[in-house]
Amino acid sequence: MLTIRPARERGHADHGWLDSWHSFSFADYYDRAHMGYSVLRVINDDRIAKGGGFGAHPHRDMEIVTWILHGAIAHQDSMGNGSVIRPGDMQRMSAGTGVVHSEQNAFDGETRLLQIWILPAAKGGAPGYEQIHFEDVDLRGKLRLIASPDGRDGSVRIQQDAAIYATRLGKDAKVSHDLPKGRRAYLQVANGELRLNGKPLKEGDGAMLEGEASVQLEAVTDAEALLFELP
C-alpha cells in the first residue's frame, strides 16, 4: 500500500525569519491523523532567512537528524560541539538524557534544510553527536545509506532500528531499493519531481509505504529525496 502525503496538506508556520512545513504534528500544528509514521516523528522543511536561527533550546530522548538542501547552519551544543553543516553533511544529535543546542543561518542568504526526529529505541541514553560528509558522487544516481543503527557503510549511527538513504537523480534516472518483509518506508521529496512505484510526486510530497516489496524511483526532473526504512 502506498499513501501519498501531499505537500500542500502539510502544516505550515511562517515566523518571518522561519518558513516551515511540517509533515507531522509539530509545535502549534496538530493533526491527529499525522502524528508520525512508525518511529519517524518529525520531518520539518525549514527555510531560514539570512541572520535567522534557533537560539539555545533543550531536547531529550530524541534522535535529531539534519540534512541541508541549500546554504549552511552553524551548530553549537552543551556537549561542546561546534560545527557548520552544509549540503552533503549528515548531522545526528542524540538528545538522550538532555542536551541544549542552537542553530543559526551561516549563509549569506536563505538556508533550507530538512530536520528529522526519530524516536530512540530506549529512553535515557547518553547524549551524542556525529557529522559525516557525503560527496555528490556518493549520492548521484544511487540510494546512499547515510544513517543506520550500526553505522555501516560509513553512515552516521542512530539509536533505532531504522535506516535513512539519500539520493540525487538526474532527469530520467532510476534507482530501486528492496524492502525486507515486515519493513515499512517513508519517502520525502526534497527537490524536483519523480515517480515512486509509478505514482507521481512533487517537491515537498511524502509517501508512506507498507506491504510493498520494493521502492522504485524514476526522476521526472532533476530530483533529490530521502528514503526512510522503518520497523
Cα separation, 62 vs 127, in Å, equals 10
Cα separation, 124 vs 98, in Å, equals 8
Kindly list the structural domains of the chain, giving each domain's residue range(s) and its CATH number in brackets, ordered by start: 2-230 (2.60.120.10)
Q: What are phi and psi of 99, to 5 degrees?
A: -150, 150
**pLDDT (tens digit, 9 = 90+) per residue, 170-214?**
999 999 999 999 999 999 999 999 999 999 999 999 999 999 999
Cα separation, 175 vs 180, in Å, equals 17
Q: What is the mean pLDDT of residues 86-111?
A: 95
- Position 97, amino acid: T
**pLDDT (tens digit, 9 = 90+) per residue, 125-183?**
999 999 999 999 999 999 999 999 999 999 999 999 999 999 999 999 999 999 999 99
Element (H, E) at 138: helix 136-139
Cα separation, 76 vs 73, in Å, equals 10
Task: Give bridge partners of residue 44 from the DSSP assignment.
Answer: 22, 115
Q: What are phi and psi of 139, to 5 degrees?
A: -105, -25
